[in-house]
Structure 1
Amino acid sequence: MAQRQLELNKKTGSGNRAIFLTLRAEIKEALDDGWAVVQIYRTLHEEGKIDFSYQAFRLYVNKLILNPGQTHRKPKDNKPKQQDGMPEPATAKQEADKPKGFVWNPNYSKEDLF
């Protein structure tokens, strides 16, 4: 039954993850032996065991073997919120980060032109 499902998914292209999961133990063993991810991908692709892209393979390796359970969420901002309508006070770093140089002034004086 699993083999039939893999064949159906392989035809539609949505079974890449299922194929990867069936090969996960073999891939993990090769990684533990010191093989590079690209070498493992090329070997499995040449053997016809996988037919999806290297980018997808790399994503599965990172997500399912190297960093299992890790989510890619933005860290929470621990800064206290400003009160209603109050702008944040400028710090010395913010002042230093402002670009220096030319400032456009539409009201020019003739002395500035010469």
Structure 2
Amino acid sequence: MNYSELIEGLKREDEEKAKTYGRYAFLKFRDEIKEALDNGYSAIAIWEHLSESGDMPVKYNQFTVYIRKFITKKL
């Protein structure tokens, strides 16, 4: 294995960890997100709050995908 193969392998691992970390962060707050949505708060307001507090490491687009997938069950 040469240096560039090592670096590429490490980058792939980091990307996979980042993907699962975002999903984990969303699922950690799933019940609270659902409750906030049920109480009339917009998805963007919820995402902004969680993102600004450092609790939501995903972009808004991915956040809405997770809402559809894990809360409303629509894809």
> Post-superposition shift, 1:36?
0.6
Identity %: 36
RMSD across aligned positions (CA): 2.0
What amino acid sits opposite 2:65 in the alignment?
Answer: L
Once residues 70 and 57 of structure 2 are traced to their aligned partners in structure 1, the CA distance between those partners, rounded to angstroms, is 18
- Classify the secondary structure of the residue corresponding to 2:46: helix
Q: Offset at 1:35?
A: 0.4
Structure with higher Rg: it is 1
Letter of the structure 2 residue corresponding to residue 61 of structure 1 = I
1:16 matched to 2:26: no
- Report what 2:61 is aligned to: 55
The runs of at least 4 consecutive aligned structure 1 residues that moved more than 2 Å come to none
Q: CA deviation at 1:66?
A: 1.1
With normalisation by structure 2, the TM-score equals: 0.71
Letter in 1 for 2:71: I
8 Å contact kept, 2:25–2:56: yes
Stretches of structure 1 that go unaligned for 5 or more consecutive residues are 1-8, 73-114
Partner of 1:39: 45
Relative to the length of structure 1, the TM-score reads 0.48
User: How many residues of Structure 1 are paired with residues of Structure 2 in the alignment?
Assistant: 60
Partner amino acid, structure 2, of 1:59: V
Which residue identity does 1:13 align to in structure 2?
A
Which residue, 30, 35, 40 being the options, matches 1:29?
35
